[in-house]
Amino acid sequence: MTRSVGHCRMVGHIEGQSRDQATLFPERLDELIAAAAAVRVVDAFVDTLELAKLGFGKTMPQRTGRPPYAPSDLLKLYVWGYLNQVRSSRMLERECRRNIELLWLLNRLAPDFKTIADFRRDNREAIRRVCRAFVQFCKGQDLFGAELVAVDGSKFAGQNSPKRVWTQGQLEKKAAALDKKIEEYLAKLDAADTQESAAEPSAADIAAMLERLRAEKAEIEQSVLLMQGMAMGQVALTDPDVRLMRGAHGVVVGYNVQVAVDARHGLIAHHAVTQDSTDQNQLAPVALAAKEALEAERLEAVADAGYGDADQVKACDEAEVTTFVPHPRSVNPHGALFDKSVFAYDAATDSYRCPAGKTLPFRRVGKDEAREYRAARKDCCGCPLKPRCTKSARRTVSRHRHEATLEALAERTRARPELMAKRRCLAEHPFGIIKAMAPRFLCRGLPAVAAEMALSVIAFNLKRAMALLGIPELLRRLDAAPA
């Protein structure tokens, strides 16, 4: 039995068309998609790509056997999915059958979830190249300034529960607790041999429990040996590539995603997924890769205090990337003692001058090649400033092996205070959008999550380009782009 539209409605409500209404000229699917729909951009963008050159498999039709899906169709499906927060292969399969945009985009093709998932697994590197291809397209459209980038990182959770990650210390504690339990059960086993009470567990039950505890302990010992052998600080049981990290809202078991955001329009010029729990070693790799992607001769890069590693800043200097990083706020463990900044360095004599006007000559090269300078005992002994200077008999000041680099960095960062506010706006916006679209990784393993993040970045940059140019203009430029 069929029901007409408006079956239970009062007169005066807006009414649709009857489901049984026949039309003389059937509607085309294309008429149901707005001229300025984002799905048209996905279609046009993927059609500009040379998929074989980018490394996609199955780009040539087979002569025999069942023909495969075209990689362009599966790539369009994934890009559309990441733009619309539909990321899992099963959900994409479902949407292919019922979503009007996908019916249009894929010409009513409906691949099964395994085909969809296999495509992402088999084309990880190629998907990352697609991300770079869109950066190149945007660069050709003058959407990148290629003068200043903001470098920042954010932690994304992986497919691993925090309860299934162990550090070496935790494992050793667990092994010690198991030892204690095993001893208790051994004592119980001795007692069970002499008692015959029905209330107590039998010797066989205790022996079975002991066997389980010993097996658990052997597993832990194996994990500790593996960690020691591979110099790993932790082991994750579900996704071995995730790391325990401190995020903005507590501990995260996942990956550290780095981005370089161009200052002209906030587009992402380069991104990377890393296993580093801190940002300390990320400035040079990310800034230099951004410079290469933007094909810039010189580049300025601004980052927060977590990126202020002297080796990284020096590597950037040498590659013509000028960095701006605020000095990390150091906590003086002795309270309100003089900070090193009040000691003046004299390059001519290679010595420091203290607030009391005394000279601290070079003493020795210490840890990490840092140079140490120490005041004379007789100078500090009767000095009225000593309570504010040192708790030792005399004050020592250390100088980093790249101290001149750090001083130059501090000076140029002080001279451009507006860059810090700009950095926050630039770098935090993409992470906000991407985390709203894809709050955590669905796949396991670094290569797989790197492909996932590339899809998120493609979606972000597409959204940004649509907002900047408008969809009709972006479509016009994509159509004009060489295929």
Return the residue of 385, 408, 442, 481 that touches ligand SF4, per CB under 6 A.
385
Return the residue of 118, 372, 379, 473 that touches ligand SF4, per CB under 6 A.
379
Only one of the segments 200-208, 225-233, 304-312, 351-359 lies at the binding site for ligand SF4 (rule: CB under 6 A); that segment is 351-359
C-beta of 389: minimal distance to ligand SF4 in Å? Answer: 3
Partnered with residue 397 across adjacent β-strands are 373
Start-to-end Cα distance in the chain: 52
Only one of the segments 161-169, 272-280, 372-380, 441-449 lies at the binding site for ligand SF4 (rule: CB under 6 A); that segment is 372-380
Distances (CA, A) of 223 to 129, 230, 241, 420: 37, 10, 15, 44
Is 258 an interacting residue with respect to ligand SF4 (CB under 6 A)?
no
Is 345 an interacting residue with respect to ligand SF4 (CB under 6 A)?
no
Output the furthest CA–CA distance in the chain (Å, rounded): 106
Classified as helix, coil or strand, 15 is coil
C-beta of 390: minimal distance to ligand SF4 in Å? Answer: 6
Which residues, in sequence order, are CB contacts of 395 under 8 Å at separation 6+? 338, 354, 360, 374, 375, 380, 389
Tally of CB atoms within 10 A around 215? 10
Partnered with residue 88 across adjacent β-strands are none
Is 395 an interacting residue with respect to ligand SF4 (CB under 6 A)?
yes
C-beta of 319: minimal distance to ligand SF4 in Å? Answer: 38
Q: How many residues bind ligand SF4 (CB under 6 A)?
A: 13
> Helix axis angle, 283-293 relative to 310-318, nearest 10°?
20
DSSP letter string over 83-135?
HTT--SHHHHHHHHHH-HHHHHHTTT----HHHHHHHHHHTHHHHHHHHHHHH
Is 294 an interacting residue with respect to ligand SF4 (CB under 6 A)?
no
Which residues, in sequence order, are CB contacts of 59 under 8 Å at separation 6+? 51, 52, 70, 71
In this structure, is the dihedral angle defined by the CA atoms of residues 191, 194, 197 and 203, taken in order, positive or negative? positive
Is 355 an interacting residue with respect to ligand SF4 (CB under 6 A)?
yes
Which residues, in sequence order, are CB contacts of 52 under 8 Å at separation 6+? 59, 60
Is 356 an interacting residue with respect to ligand SF4 (CB under 6 A)?
yes
Is 446 an interacting residue with respect to ligand SF4 (CB under 6 A)?
no
Q: Closer to ligand SF4 by CB, 357 or 482: give it.
A: 357
- In terms of C-beta density within 10 A (0-12 exposed, 13-18 middle, 19 or more buried), how is residue 307 classed? buried
C-beta of 401: minimal distance to ligand SF4 in Å? Answer: 22
Side chain identity at residue 471, one-letter code:
I
Is 375 an interacting residue with respect to ligand SF4 (CB under 6 A)?
yes
Is 380 an interacting residue with respect to ligand SF4 (CB under 6 A)?
yes
C-beta of 328: minimal distance to ligand SF4 in Å? Answer: 23
C-beta of 385: minimal distance to ligand SF4 in Å? Answer: 4
C-beta of 415: minimal distance to ligand SF4 in Å? Answer: 29
Is 256 an interacting residue with respect to ligand SF4 (CB under 6 A)?
no
Only one of the segments 308-316, 389-397, 430-438, 459-467 lies at the binding site for ligand SF4 (rule: CB under 6 A); that segment is 389-397
Return the residue of 58, 121, 358, 371 that touches ligand SF4, per CB under 6 A.
358
Only one of the segments 102-110, 244-252, 377-385, 413-421 lies at the binding site for ligand SF4 (rule: CB under 6 A); that segment is 377-385
User: Which chain residues interact with ligand SF4 by CB under 6 A?
Assistant: 354-356, 358, 375, 379-380, 383, 385-386, 389-390, 395
